[in-house]
Structure 1
């Protein structure tokens, strides 16, 4: 009899009303998996930008996230949108390579894709669902939790009650401080001492399918990476300070002033620095997808509070594995919510999710010691030491003795999903 009652409860839709702040990677991925639960959810995804953000740098998918993408039926689509990158070359000012790593060897992953392309795939996978609604050019202004739900006030002026609120709005999430207490948030956002500009430039006939990486003293680096299209390649300009947490006031002022001032600043830092600096800077001046950001790590002792939860970079921005963590977190959150019998169970499901996900997260949360400063030296001597080490590791294949821990040994829980 009890088994029959449980079956009846689990087959009865709970009509969960969900708000997701952020339409990047984690938010749409969560919407997909929530739609495959018995909850019959009504999902609103609010995004402060006026349209889908379909720009961004090359990202990779590793560990359990690969299996999740396969379960979404998107593996073929991801492979079709592969950046075509075949490996990484470290180059000197004359363009000669002194160290090279093939796909799967430290730098270039098997699943490399532009953030724009992955975001588009997740967007398309959820837009066709009748229970998912996207609202652009709006954001959460305030929220107040009660026993029966979360009352949300939007910047557009509307108000609405939800059973669950998810902050998936990036490492600088404005919603984070509305969910967690000040003492929990203290020292959670950690600037890594690095700024990265990325944009597309026209390709040339002699471009290869390799990621080219060129360093200059004072923590500067110029990189180019292939695109799937033959018309453009990705260009990256990196400025790294001497220590984590240390800011460059010239860069900060330029970022605060706007795009044109930021480009002028980059010209002053990179002109006449060798290799393809002129080509990259000329391409930057006409690029329509220019973006520059601060590299940061977000580490929190808690991700949940009542009926609200942080997801993706808003919860745990982690250099190099942020995309994988976002996909994995979305899958696990939906899976744990899929076990509930009513809206009253949401807080307990969020706590269970955090317990399960922490086990995976702790295998991936730590950055390499001294990163990014050791990878982007300030002095010519430091650069020589780094280059010598990279040459040695490349020639001897020493990296094969080092285990890459991206949660590969972690066993993904099984959940009951329905077809959509």
Structure 2
């Protein structure tokens, strides 16, 4: 590798972006890495997420396994509740719902940031975002919303499923119909815990696709609350919820009261806690599927490339690792486009094992009618009692062996 310094820009300081910065720092490239984040401060909110399959091995190679375990949400199992709030199906941790490595999104993102922000070749910039891109043969000219501009050898959009940068990088025929709204809205926030709260993911459904969930936190003072409003089909929007999303947090809290106020179980407690919550966030559940992730010297990564329910975090970690590994092979800036093509060739086969997500989700898991809910509950009861879920492949049975690259020790 020549002494010429390469300039890399990563948009998004969530999971994929900082993970990529870490692995780029462990290459022999002479790289200056800038991570730009639209939020003015590091995000401290986020739902419970998990790491599975090859993602676990990558975290181990980052020497972060113990740190991740130390930040575990303490969730021991998942319990499904009936209409009166009594449990009827139990799935122990590590089986299906509750993974061995459960962590809050903010905790994992914070851990990756802590690991990279002290590195001399990594710089974080908050409160700004990409306004436009101009790809040339030898570089990419970037203009920022803050008014500045700069030139980079590589631009990575790791700014989430609703990425604005995605359409700047990929052609319209590539991105067309890539964003699939799953027909579900999810609000999540923290509420005060009670001594009687179990260390379990409690799942309480009612007809019309409505659901309240509670999940434990590492911080014993709070639990995570999740409110779900599900429409009958993928792509079907709820006009009232869409209007609330446009109007802001207070309107979103009002719509949650309207839809879930009389749901039963812990609805009163949860909604009272929601009113006082400072970390409330509501969004649409969606999947992103693209036939191509790269274009010249730019690409999309993580949820911006392949948001997938249940495995999005793992895909973000895996793709960051393999992208950095393929870039580690380049000899000069001229090799960047080919490295991105190799990344697609190597990573696409692993991604395709997980790209479709759970079947019939979310409508099958959040039924609209009482009869459909009874059918779902009967199936869950049977699977729980017979432990048929034990026949599912374990996380380490994906059949994919992570590539080995020439990493440098940065400890």
Q: What SS does the corresponding residue of 2:10 show, helix, strand or coil?
A: strand
- Match of residue 35, structure 2, among 32, 45, 49: 45
Counterpart position of 1:18:
8
Shift of 1:95: 2.4
3-state DSSP of counterpart to 1:349? helix
Displacement after TM superposition at 1:229 (Å): 1.0
1:174 corresponds, among 164, 175, 188, to 164
Answering whether residue 305 of structure 2 is matched by residue 324 of structure 1, we say no
Q: Are positions 1:374 and 2:364 aligned together?
A: yes
TM-score between the two structures when normalised by the length of structure 1: 0.96
Are positions 1:126 and 2:152 aligned together?
no
Cα shift at 1:93: 3.3
| Residue aligning to 2:328 | 338
Do the aligned residues in 1 keep the contact of 2:52 with 2:395 (CA within 8 Å)? Answer: no
Query: Is the CA contact (8 Å cut-off) linking 2:7 and 2:33 kept in structure 1?
Result: yes
CA distance in 1, matches of 2:191, 2:396: 32
Partner deviation per Cα, 1:282-314 (whole Å, 9 max, x = no partner): 000000100001000000010000000110000
Question: 1:251 Cα shift?
Answer: 0.4
Alignment of 1:211-226 (within 5 A): 211-226=201-216
Using the TM superposition, give the Cα deviation of residue 404 of structure 1 relative to its aligned residue in structure 2, in angstroms. 5.3
Confirm or deny that 1:193 pairs with 2:183.
Answer: yes
Equivalent position SS for 1:409? coil
Q: Structure 2 regions of 5+ residues with no counterpart?
A: none
Are residue 73 (structure 1) and residue 63 (structure 2) matched?
A: yes
Q: Please tell me whether residue 160 in structure 1 is matched to residue 174 in structure 2.
A: no
Cα deviations by residue, 1:197-218 (Å, 9 ceiling, x for unpaired) = 0000000010110000000100
* Cα distance between partner residues in 1 of 2:242 and 2:16: 28
Superposition TM-score, scaled by structure 2 size: 0.98
Q: 2:252 aligned with 1:259, yes or no?
A: no
How many residues align? The count is 410
Contact 1:89 1:100 in 2 (8 A): yes
Which deviations, in whole Å up to 9, do the C-alpha atoms of 1:124-172 show, x marking residues without a partner?
Answer: 0011101111111100000101111000000111110000000000000
270-279 or 331-340: bigger deviation: 270-279
Consecutive unaligned residues in structure 1, runs of 5 or more: 1-9
Q: Which moved more, 1:361-370 or 1:19-28?
A: 361-370
Match runs of 1:4-403 below 5 Å: 10=1, 12-403=2-393
Q: Secondary structure at the match of 2:364?
A: helix
> Displacement of 1:13 after TM fit?
4.0
In structure 2, C-alpha distance between the alignment counterparts of 1:303 and 1:102, rounded to whole Å? 37
Q: Alpha-carbon deviation of 1:271?
A: 1.0
Give per-residue Cα distances to partners, 1:362-410, cap 9 Å, x unaligned: 0111122211100000000000000000000000001112335777320
**TM-aligned CA distance change 1:170 to 1:406, over 3 Å:** farther
SS at match of 1:374: coil
2:159·2:303 contact (CA, 8 Å) conserved in 1?
yes
